[in-house]
Amino acid sequence: MSKFNPLIALALGALLLGSSYLFNQVLELATLPDAEPFRPAMQSTTTMPEDMPEEDKTVEDTEIAVLEAVAAPPPPCESIIIAVGDIMVHQTQFVQAFAANSQIYDFSPSFEYITPYLQASNLTVGNLETTLAGAERGFSAYPRFNTPDELALALCQAGFDLLCTANNHSMDSGAQGVSRTLEVIEETKMKAFGTARSQAERDTPLLVETNGISLAFLAYTYGTNGIPLPSGRDYMVNLIDEELMHDDIQKARRAGADLVIVYMHWGWEYRTEPSPEQKELAHFLAAAGAHIIIGSHPHVIQPMEYISMEDENGNQHRAFVAYSLGNFISNQHRIPGAVPTHEVQYGMLLRLHLKRDTPDQAAYLQDVDYKLTWVDRARRHRIIPLPPVNKNLPAPPSIPEAKWPEIRETALRLQERLDGFHPGEFNVPENESPPLPCAAF
């Protein structure tokens, strides 16, 4: 064994010399300027020599721009949703809309003044409280509504993207009316929610993506005015059922919805305060995971509020509820013994500002404001946007001066009822600007 000792010593010596060399190389690299800790370009104090060639300066500028882009955090995702209340068409409306020369119905004058406000959003949604069952059934109004198809076109052109179709008039034209209403809405490239043509369609929540925020839209009604759903086709209209609503909300969240918006057809007609049942259902929906709850059916504006509570998983949860948005468009007016208040001519645009601060954070409702509206029945049922009202505000040019005192008094009362929320400015340029980016279905 001793004859191998010199060889072993020689090998060990070589190994030590190699390790020493490598160690010195590492030390030299560690002291080089390029080895300094990385600093984002926006913090860099590096200056370029005056005699640097122009092409090198261009390369340097490009590198700095790339580093700045990498270092800058992504902007927050934000989206504006406009929601409105009941869209109704009485006989006076479709008679006035008929154009004898062309033999078509033109509902567009009703939306002349309100269209810029509807289009100043990423997504606009309303409650369609009529059916589109076709001319062969005959057009009709209360108690069973059937409206010309041209209404859907006018709504689409005015800026609507989504229509809730679950309400007490969903079955006014029977099962065929439910199906055809959905077909007409889809032909105009809008989407509907709350009614369905199959069980699979009912069980698939409507998901809409707007500026990086995914929204689910659900809708339910207290009933269908005593008209039964077809045997074996309970799926055609969503009725208020706590187990069903809970499961739908959970399904929507599993499908990827960041926020769940629920339209509820509930309460008592012409009541200015929500009923105990509305309050209980709102708390139930919030506990089940709904984020925004929008009410219809009372035909008058009711209060709005936030509900803060623990959800069923013990997590803190805040939901927003607007108990009723009133009428967006109709021929309703005060009729002694039938309709007790002229507030049925008023509604509001509810503006919801949604936001997600960073990609890894949850989306949320940042703030809410509104704009009151009034239906001028004397001029083809035009929807007039009202400014934030005070006692000394003169009549806007679009409102008849003789009607202004009554409108101002009513608007002041409505603003007081909506205490805690403020009418927004809703600034719309005189030269109409292009609408905000549309949502994706």
Mean pLDDT of the chain: 87
Cβ neighbours of residue 393 under 8 Å, at least 6 residues apart? 387, 408
Place 65 in a pLDDT band, splitting at 50, 70 and 90.
Answer: low
How many angstroms separate the Cα of 84 from the Cα of each of 164, 342, 408? 10, 18, 21
Of the listed ranges 63-72, 142-151, 396-405, the one predicted with least confidence: 63-72
Q: Which of 188, 433, 182, 421 is nearest to 323 (CA)?
A: 421
pLDDT given for residue 16 in this prediction: 44
Q: What is the pLDDT of residues 239-264, one digit of tens each?
A: 999 999 999 999 999 999 999 999 99
At residue 11 the predicted structure's pLDDT band, cuts being 50, 70 and 90, is very low
Which of 124, 129, 148, 329 has the alpha carbon at shortest distance from 237? 129
187-196 burial, b for 16+ CB within 10 Å, e for fewer? ebebbbbbbb
Residues contacting residue 356 through CB under 8 Å, at least 6 positions apart: 76, 77, 78, 212, 213, 258, 362, 363, 364
Mean pLDDT for 313-336 is 95
Residue 398 is predicted with a pLDDT of 86
Rounded to 5°, the CA angle 247-253-258 comes to: 145
Statement: residue 23 has pLDDT above 70: no
Per-residue model confidence (pLDDT) at position 225: 98
Please say if the pLDDT value at position 46 is more than 70: no
Q: Which residue has the higher pLDDT, 144 or 24?
A: 144
The pLDDT score that the predictor gives to residue 50 is: 54
69 is written with which tokens? 């882009």
Q: What is the pLDDT confidence band of residue 12, given thresholds at 50, 70 and 90?
A: very low
pLDDT at 63: 64
Separation between Cα atoms, residue 295 and residue 271, nearest integer Å:
13
The answer to whether the predicted template modeling score (pTM) of the entire model surpasses 0.75 is yes
CB-CB contact of 270 with 341 (8 Å): yes
**pLDDT of res. 309:** 87
For the ranges 21-35, 74-88, 380-394, the lowest mean pLDDT is seen at 21-35
